[in-house]
């Protein structure tokens, strides 16, 4: 898995805390949350594309 480069400032303390509570790193927490959203976008756009072709 690749890296997400992000600088953590005090406003991002919630991400760091959540990652610690899940015993993971912020990158893993963010990716685990973002991947389902990315899949949903791709599936939605592909469905729209197929329905427009029909």
Secondary structure, 3-state, the chain = CCCCCCCCCHHHHHHHHHHHHCCCCHHHHHHHHHHHHHHHHHHHHHHHHHHHHC
pLDDT of 12 reads 84
Is the predicted pLDDT of residue 6 greater than 70, yes or no?
Answer: no
- Categorize the per-residue pLDDT at 25 as very low, low, confident or very high, splitting at 50, 70 and 90: very high
Question: What average pLDDT score do residues 18-36 get?
Answer: 93
Is the predicted pLDDT of residue 53 greater than 80, yes or no?
Answer: no
Question: What average pLDDT score do residues 33-53 get?
Answer: 89
Is the predicted pLDDT of residue 16 greater than 70, yes or no?
Answer: yes
pLDDT of 4 reads 67
């Amino acid at each position: 898995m690749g890296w997400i480069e992000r600088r953590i400032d005090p406003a991002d303390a919630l991400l760091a805390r959540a990652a610690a509570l899940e015993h993971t790193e912020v990158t893993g927490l963010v990716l685990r949350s973002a991947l389902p959203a990315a899949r949903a976008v791709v599936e939605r756009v592909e469905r729209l594309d197929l329905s427009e072709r029909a």
